[in-house]
Structure 1
């Protein structure tokens, strides 16, 4: 069994009075006994089917846009797993789940584990105030949420976002990873740090 499993789920993203159709990447990390869920969106039944009879160690939200957290409470209750999120995401989380708080706070440098695999929390604000990525050194993989995609940084044109911060976050916490590190984002196809680095370095050089 692969230590990384992947589902694509479909639904909507709503913010600032607009609603858009989206497809989200849901990631599972672990082994045949236990897994961690990263951004389990939209379709709780599909996620639960993928989990099967394994123990869920945690539900980790890379950020709190509704398309990334809409199924977190139901899955947490179903599997008896804690919801983990950075505290700076509270204003966005409260838009979707005003009556339910996350269970534990994420912080930069924290190490999480599932099935013997360690994931290091990287704080990468910009797309939202407390966005995080999860770096897995032994698998040369980073789960980038909506911070970095194939083709560039995540969107920063809506409330609680900041373009300068997302560029700073990518520069300081992602471009330092090895070029062969696979980037597994919240939407769309995977890429690598090396593929994205040249354009990102150019934006940084220009002072964006």
Structure 2
């Protein structure tokens, strides 16, 4: 049986983005998902729990999800004495990741940095972390390279800005595609099962079943 994991949501940036810190309480090893900013706040929690972060995962290339990743990588590497890799998203989001200060300027936000992942991920691959196996699924539409990370053993998924409680991700960007997003949600998220908890990039957690039944974009 795989060990149960612990989770802390740290809201970051003026956008209230849900940076997730997931760890194995037996080993204190952790991953950080979507550190969009406010790195001192993230580091304070990591230090308080005495966690060892093995990697940083990105669902997509928007400023509020990835703008703190490079700074966090530097801080963790200095604290832990070895490189902490940034993993994901799909390579199609590389142009967004390389233009985070330009994204931030559109919202009057400063202090966020572009980031080059140590490696991108692809649909269908598996990330082994914390004694669990996480499936990578490509769910484009909000951004071209958006991915989700799904843990079948624990029945939950980090879904970024694809599906929310009662809503879906914005697609009113030059690279957005609403029809593509809805199709990807139906193909890649809904089949996970009604009992699966989804942890979105903003707002409260929900379940596949609740959204299948009541989300106005899906019914």
Q: TM-score over 0.5 for the alignment? A: yes
Structure-2 separation of matches of 1:142 and 1:100: 23
Which residue of the partner structure matches residue 197 of structure 1?
A: 212
Which residue of the partner structure matches residue 87 of structure 2?
A: 84
Superposed displacement of residue 2, structure 1: 6.5
CA contact (8 A) 1:9 1:41 kept: no
1:43 aligns with 2:6: no
CA contact (8 A) 1:30 1:114 kept: no
Equivalent positions of 1:59-138 (< 5 A) are: 59-79=56-76, 80-85=83-88, 86-96=90-100, 100-138=115-153
Structure-1 separation of matches of 2:32 and 2:114: 22
Q: Which runs of 5+ in 1 are unaligned?
A: 12-20
Structure-2 separation of matches of 1:204 and 1:146: 15
CA contact (8 A) 1:7 1:47 kept: no
Which residue of the partner structure matches residue 106 of structure 2?
A: none
Deviations 1:152-181 (A, max 9, x none): 211111232110110111011001011010
Structure-2 separation of matches of 1:203 and 1:26: 25
CA contact (8 A) 2:136 2:149 kept: yes
| RMSD across aligned positions (CA) | 2.1
TM-score between the two structures when normalised by the length of structure 2: 0.82
Structure-1 separation of matches of 2:20 and 2:55: 12
Alignment coverage as a number of residue pairs: 195
Structure with the higher fraction of residues in strand conformation: 1
Structure-2 separation of matches of 1:164 and 1:84: 27
Deviations 1:85-123 (A, max 9, x none): 210001111111787521101111221132212211111
1:23 aligns with 2:20: no
Q: Which runs of 5+ in 2 are unaligned?
A: 77-82, 102-112
CA 1:164/1:71 → structure 2, altered by over 3 Å: closer, same or farther? same
Report the secondary structure of 2:15's partner residue.
strand
Which residue of the partner structure matches residue 17 of structure 1?
A: none
